[in-house]
Amino acid sequence: MIPSSIASLIASKSSHNVATSAMGMMSMLGMLSALVIVWGLWKIVRCIWWRPLKLERAMRKQGMQGPPPLFMIGNYVEIMKLEEMELATDMGGLRHDILQRMLPYYTKWSKTYGKKFVFWEASEPRIVVTEPELIREVFSAKCALAYGKSFIHQRCCEHFLGKGVVMANGESWARQRRIIAPAFHIDKLKGLAGVMTKCTEQLISKWEEMVGRDKQVEVDVASDLRMLTADIIACTEFGSSYEQGKRIFDLLTTLQKLTLQFAHFVWLPGSRFLPTSWNWEIWRLKREMENLLKEIIQERRDLVSVGKIGSYGKDLLGLMLAESEGRSCDLDDVNCNNINANSMNDQHNIRSHCKPRFTTQQIMDECKTFFFAGHETTAGLLTWSMLLLAANPEWQEKAREEVFDVLGERDENLPEAETLHKLKILGMIINETLRLYPPAIVITRYALMDMKLGDMYIPKGSSVWIPVLAMHLDQELWGEDASQFKPQRFEQGMARACKHPLAYMPFAFGPRNCVGQTFALMEAKIVLSMILRKYRFTLAPSYRHAPITMLTLKPKYGAQVLLERIL
Ligand code: HEM
C-alpha cells in the first residue's frame, strides 16, 4: 500500500508532469503550426513574387522584349480584352484568315516586338518561337525530358486529365508513354476499324430518319459528330463496358466545362483547396466518375484473375492493363524471369508476382486522357472537314468519286483499315483541314531545367510558346494563297506542301507528338468516306462562321449543313 502523503505527492507530481507535458505539447504544436504557416507563406511568395522576378530579370538580361506584365496576372487582362473584342462578331462568310480572330494578342505583339518576344500568363513567361529549326530542337528526342507541361496548364486540366500522359513531365511522362504507345500501334488499331464503322452506321441511320421522305434536311453536324467521336472512343476504350464508359464520359464532360469556366482563377495560389460551391461540385463529380472507373478496372482484373476471361481484351483499357501488368516482368522484375508464361496459371502467377507498372489511379488518369485527347480533337477535324467540303462542292465530288472507286457504291462494302491508304484525295482534304483549322492552335513546352535554344537562354520555369496556327497560315511558308482551301498543295506529300516541312504540325512531332495520330486519321477516313457515299451536303443559310477555342478550335454556333441523300 502507498502511504497517503506519498500518494498525494505522487498525484501532485504526476498532475504537474501532465500539465508540463501538455504545455510542452501545446508549444510544440504551436511551433509546428507556425513553421507550416511560414513555409506556406514562403511558397506563395516564391511562386508569385520571387520566381517571376528572377525570370523577368533573366528575360531583360538577354534583351528579350514584350508587353510589360502586371504583378501576379501577367498579361492576362490585355489578352482577355483583345480576345473579347475579336470574338464579339462573326467572320462574315466562310473565310479562313482566322489568325487575327484566334490569336489577336500574338498578331499585335509580333508587330510591335518582332517574331521573338515574351509575354506572361499569370506569373509564367511564354517565349514565342516561330523558327522551324528552333521548334525542331524543342521537339527533339534530346529535349524530351527537359521540356514538359507548365504548372498552370497542369492545374487547369487536373480534374479531367489527372496526371495522365498529356500532362506528365520528365521520367514519369517517358514511363507512361512507353506503356501506352504499343496500344496505338497500327496492328492493334486495325482491330478497332469495325467499331468505328459500326458507330458511324448508327449516325447514318439517325440521319436517314431525319431526312425521311424529304430530299433535304438541315443538320448541325458539329454536335452529331461530337457524339459520334465520343461513342467511338467509349467503345474503343471500354469495349464491353461501353454503357458504364458513357456515364463516365458524361461526368468528364461536365467536369471539363465547369473547370474551364473558372480557368482564369487557377493562378490564384491555393484556390483549388478552398471549400467554394464550385470546388465542392468538382470534388463530387470527380468522386463519382473515379468510383465508376475503379469499378470497370477492378471488374476486368477480377475476370482475368479468376480465369473467366483469358486476356484483358482488345479495347484500349484491355491493351493498357496488359501493357501495364503483363510485360512489366520482362523489363523490371528479374524474379519473374523463371516463370513460364505459357499457361493461364502461369500468366496469373506473373500478374500476382510482378509489380504493376501502372497503379489504378494512373490507369484511371490515362482513361480520362484518351477521352479528352481523342474525341474533341477528332470531332473538330470531322466538323471542319464537312464544312469545307460543303463550301467546296468540286472537292466534295472528287472525294466521293474516289470513295466509290476504292470502296464501291454499296453500303455493305464497309471501309477496312487495309484499304484506307488508297483514299489519297480524302487524305489531302484532311491534311488541308488540319492546316487551316488545327484543333490545337498553340503548343507550349515548359522548361523543366535551364536550357539554351539558338541564341536564347530559356530559364527553368519559363515556356516556349509555338503558335501553330500562325505557322500554318504564314504566307512566307505557304505562299500568298495560305489562307485558301487548296488540298492540292499536299498532292506530292507533306514534305513538299510547304517551304519548310516542319512548319506543318497539327499533331506536333518528335517523341512527344500525338500518340493517337494514326487512330485519328483512320477514324476520320472511315467516317468521312461513309458519309460521302451516302450524302451530298451544302452549307445551310443559318451557318454563322465564328471559330472559337474551348481547349480545341470549334465553330461557336455549330455547323449547320443541308444533307441530301444520294439516290
Ligand atoms: C485530329 C485529331 C487529333 C489532333 C489534331 C491531335 C493533336 C495533338 C497534339 C498537337 C498533341 C501534342 C500536344 C502537346 O504536347 O501540347 C497531342 C498529344 C496527344 N494526343 Fe492527340 N490529337 C488528335 C487525336 C488524338 C486521339 C484520337 C488520341 C487518342 C485516342 C490522342 C491522344 C493524344 C495523347 C495521349 C497525347 C499526349 C502525348 C504525349 O504527351 O506523349 N490524340 N495530340
pLDDT tens for residues 25-81?
Answer: 888 888 888 888 888 888 777 777 778 888 888 888 888 999 999 988 899 999 999
Q: Which residue has the higher pLDDT, 237 or 219?
A: 219
Mean pLDDT of 281-310: 87
pLDDT at 331: 33
pLDDT at 266: 60
The mean pLDDT value of the chain amounts to 86
Query: In residues, how long is the chain?
Result: 567
Report which ligand 1 atom has the smallest distance to the Cα of 176: 41
Annotated binding site for heme: 514
CA-wise closest residue to 382 among 224, 549, 519, 201: 224
Structural domain includes residue 45: no
Mean pLDDT of 494-523: 94
Structural domain includes residue 475: yes
Q: Which residue has the higher pLDDT, 436 or 244?
A: 436
Give the containing element (helix H, strand E) for 282.
helix 277-305
pLDDT at 356: 53
Report which ligand 1 atom has the smallest distance to the Cα of 366: 35
Structural domain includes residue 264: yes
Query: Grid coordinates in use for 322?
Result: 496488359
Mean pLDDT of 367-379: 90
Report which ligand 1 atom has the smallest distance to the Cα of 380: 1
Q: Which residue has the higher pLDDT, 567 or 249?
A: 249
pLDDT at 514: 96
Name the range with the highest mean pLDDT among 177-181, 490-494, 536-540, 563-567: 536-540
Question: How far is ligand 1, taken at its centre, from the CA of residue 375, in Å?
Answer: 10
pLDDT at 441: 98
Question: How far is ligand 1, taken at its centre, from the CA of residue 291, in Å?
Answer: 26
Annotated binding site: 514
Residue nearest to atom 11 of ligand 1 (CA): 514
CA-wise closest residue to 319 among 214, 430, 189: 189
Question: How far is ligand 1, taken at its centre, from the CA of residue 226, in Å?
Answer: 16
Structural domain includes residue 541: yes
Percentage of residues in the chain with pLDDT exceeding 70?
A: 88
Residue 355 has pLDDT above 60, yes or no: no
Percentage of residues in the chain with pLDDT exceeding 90?
A: 51
pLDDT at 341: 36
Question: How far is ligand 1, taken at its centre, from the CA of residue 426, in Å?
Answer: 21
Q: Whole-angstrom Cα distance, residue 333 to residue 330?
A: 7
CA-wise closest residue to 150 among 374, 446, 410: 446
Structural domain includes residue 255: yes
Range of the domain at 237: 82-565
pLDDT at 447: 96
Question: How far is ligand 1, taken at its centre, from the CA of residue 520, in Å?
Answer: 9
Question: How far is ligand 1, taken at its centre, from the CA of residue 20, in Å?
Answer: 62
Segment among 47-61, 103-117, 120-134, 333-347 with least mean pLDDT: 333-347
pLDDT at 239: 77
Structural domain includes residue 75: no
pLDDT at 345: 40
Taking the whole predicted model, whether its pTM rises above 0.95 is answered as: no
Confidence of residue 13 (pLDDT cuts 50, 70, 90): low
Residue 412 DSSP label: T
pLDDT at 335: 32
Residue nearest to atom 10 of ligand 1 (CA): 507
Identify the residues whose C-beta falls under 6 Å from ligand 1.
165-166, 177, 369-370, 373-374, 377-378, 381, 439-440, 443, 506-508, 512, 514-516, 519-520
Structural domain includes residue 29: no
Residue nearest to atom 16 of ligand 1 (CA): 443
Confidence check on the interface: ipTM exceeds 0.90, yes or no: yes
pLDDT at 41: 83
pLDDT at 344: 38
Question: How far is ligand 1, taken at its centre, from the CA of residue 442, in Å?
Answer: 13
pLDDT at 339: 30
Confidence of residue 553 (pLDDT cuts 50, 70, 90): very high
pLDDT at 349: 42
Q: Which residue has the higher pLDDT, 406 or 332?
A: 406
Report which ligand 1 atom has the smallest distance to the Cα of 524: 1
Residue 507 has pLDDT above 90, yes or no: yes
The number of folded domains in the chain is: 1
Segment among 5-9, 113-117, 329-333, 393-397 with least mean pLDDT: 329-333
Distance of CA 85 to the CA centre of its chain: 27
Confidence of residue 262 (pLDDT cuts 50, 70, 90): low
Residue nearest to atom 6 of ligand 1 (CA): 507
pLDDT at 160: 82
Segment among 15-19, 28-32, 207-211 with least mean pLDDT: 15-19
Per DSSP, the chain holds a count of helices (H) and strands (E) of 22, 12
The CATH number of residue 226's host domain is 1.10.630.10
Mean pLDDT of 160-179: 90
Residue nearest to atom 40 of ligand 1 (CA): 166
Q: Which of 369, 429, 514, 549 to mutate to test the pocket of ligand 1 (most atoms within 8 A of CB)?
A: 514
* Residue 532 backbone zone (phi > 0: left; psi -120 to 50: alpha; other: beta): alpha
Q: Which residue has the higher pLDDT, 282 or 348?
A: 282
Structural domain includes residue 510: yes
Q: Whole-angstrom Cα distance, residue 519 to residue 189?
A: 7
Report which ligand 1 atom has the smallest distance to the Cα of 316: 30
Query: Grid coordinates in use for 505?
Result: 504540325
